[in-house]
Amino acid sequence: MDLKKMVLEKAKSAKDASYKLLHVTTEKKNEALKLIADELEKSRQEIKAINEKDLENGKKKKLSSAFIDRLTLSDKRIDTMIKNCHDVAKLKDPVGEVTKEWTVPSGLKITKRRMPLGVVGIIFESRPNVCIEASTLTLKSGNSVILRGGSDAINSNIFVAGLIKNGIKKAGLPGGAVEIIEETDRKTILHLVKIKQFVDVIIPRGGLELIRFVEENSVIPVIRHDLGVCHVYVDKEADIDMAVKIAFNSKVQRPGVCNAMETLLVHKDVIDAFMPKIAAEYKKAGVELRACPEIKRAAGLMSIYDAGLKDAGEEDWEKEYLDLILAVKSVGSAEEAIEHINNHGSHHTDSIVTGNAETAEKFLAGVDSGSVMVNASTRFSDGNEYGLGAEMGISNQKLHVRGPMALEGLTSEKFVIYGTGQVRE
């Protein structure tokens, strides 16, 4: 098969559909989302049977149990996929929103109006539920999507994408609104990221190696979600009990995700008051600490922690452990904390604990991250927790969209100009 031609045809079909979607009402899009939910419900047994093929292949390939878990479409996961369709149907349609309008001296009325991006290429790895998560958001925001999943879930992906297409067609919308690349040869990624005449944005979802590969090769703009090296900074004016709660929750509540804290910064004036308290909690939870010398000297800390208290090396300040390991560093001021975060973090999510509003504002303005917080756990950095209703991913970059992205991130604003016959002198 000519892979390049195949990918090009899928992209062309998605582009053609995207132009048709510009004229589709919100009601029609919601109807399609409900019809997709119906298709999933009706085909529940078939989904599981086909998913079983991928699971068997995975077991033959001796994939890890965590990997097999991500591949699995259980009844509970299918329930979530169905709920996802209904939830997205309830969200506000961003398309057509007039974000600004004004009139200029020539008499032209200038408006900025939110419109779909067009065609979104999603390149993902194991989880077949991404097919639903991505398609529902792109459809609601008037975009076409091209799904390019990994080989481990390919049977599930193809089947689920087929169900989505059925739902879309039953609603009278163009089937090209959701296309799936059925071949998993890596060359299909290389072809996809070059078709800038038909594809408007590429969103890689997966490990760092995939993201770097896409970033290096794409001529299409990429929305990138890579590392989450998140910080909590305990200021000298922090409420110590609040700081203990937030530092504990940010690290321990779910350590394997991108919005978990990886480095704790502590103002030197509160080391003695704060460290023994948090260390006692961390010890119970089995957290390994890697600390700078000032932290290690904290009153009573060595007697609480012994083997679990290690020396931090320079490399620890940039590590995304995704595990019960934490780097801890003393800083002399909020400014030093900000500087450390900007130079060593990943511009994802960083939080300050302080009772001083001025220090808080300095931190919120100065820390260059997608999400900055005061007196809250970094674990809140999430589309659902922010009330976006869903999440397409979390952007680590600064162009177009920062932090958790959902429907609005899948649109951009164009200028719509109303004249009465004006010409330029």
Site for a copy of itself, residues 344 to 363, rule: CB under 8 A? 362
- Whole-number minimum distance, CB 344 to a copy of itself, in Å? 11
Of the candidates 8, 68, 304, 364, which one interacts with a copy of itself according to CB under 8 A? 364
Window 35-74: residues binding a copy of itself (CB under 8 A): none
Alpha-carbon gap, residue 320 to 347, rounded angstroms: 13
According to the binding rule CB under 8 A, does residue 209 interact with a copy of itself?
no
According to the binding rule CB under 8 A, does residue 193 interact with a copy of itself?
no
Alpha-carbon dihedral of residues 157, 162, 168, 169, nearest 10 degrees?
160
According to the binding rule CB under 8 A, does residue 372 interact with a copy of itself?
yes
Of the candidates 1, 303, 306, 415, which one interacts with a copy of itself according to CB under 8 A? 415
Alpha-carbon gap, residue 160 to 394, rounded angstroms: 24
Q: In this chain, which stretch among 52-60, 77-85, 281-289, 385-393 interacts with a copy of itself, using CB under 8 A?
A: 385-393
- Determine the Cα angle at 399 with ends 395 and 401, to 5°: 45
According to the binding rule CB under 8 A, does residue 304 interact with a copy of itself?
no
According to the binding rule CB under 8 A, does residue 208 interact with a copy of itself?
no
According to the binding rule CB under 8 A, does residue 400 interact with a copy of itself?
yes
- Measured from the CB atom, the residue of 279 and 405 that comes closer to a copy of itself is 405
State the pairing for strand pair 230-234/349-353: parallel
Query: In the chain, how long is the greatest CA-to-CA distance?
Result: 81
Q: What is the DSSP string of 112-144?
A: EEEEE-SEEEEEE-S-TTHHHHHHHHHHHTT-E
SS3 364: helix
- Whole-number minimum distance, CB 284 to a copy of itself, in Å? 16
- Measured from the CB atom, the residue of 221 and 308 that comes closer to a copy of itself is 221
Q: In this chain, which stretch among 18-26, 122-130, 175-183, 273-281 interacts with a copy of itself, using CB under 8 A?
A: 18-26
- Measured from the CB atom, the residue of 15 and 296 that comes closer to a copy of itself is 15
Contact of 396 with 82, CB cutoff 8 Å: no
- Measured from the CB atom, the residue of 56 and 361 that comes closer to a copy of itself is 361
- Measured from the CB atom, the residue of 153 and 360 that comes closer to a copy of itself is 360
According to the binding rule CB under 8 A, does residue 387 interact with a copy of itself?
yes
- Measured from the CB atom, the residue of 125 and 350 that comes closer to a copy of itself is 350
According to the binding rule CB under 8 A, does residue 110 interact with a copy of itself?
yes
Q: Count residues contacting a copy of itself (CB under 8 A)?
A: 73
Contact of 139 with 177, CB cutoff 8 Å: yes
Q: In this chain, which stretch among 34-42, 56-64, 229-237, 239-247 interacts with a copy of itself, using CB under 8 A?
A: 239-247
- Whole-number minimum distance, CB 102 to a copy of itself, in Å? 6
What are the angstrom distances between the C-alpha of 425 and each of 106, 192, 417?
10, 45, 18
Element (H, E) at 16: helix 3-21
Counting Cα atoms < 13 Å in the Cβ hemisphere of 324 gives 14
Counting Cα atoms < 13 Å in the Cβ hemisphere of 59 gives 7
According to the binding rule CB under 8 A, does residue 221 interact with a copy of itself?
yes
Count of CB atoms situated within 10 Å of the CB of 216: 9
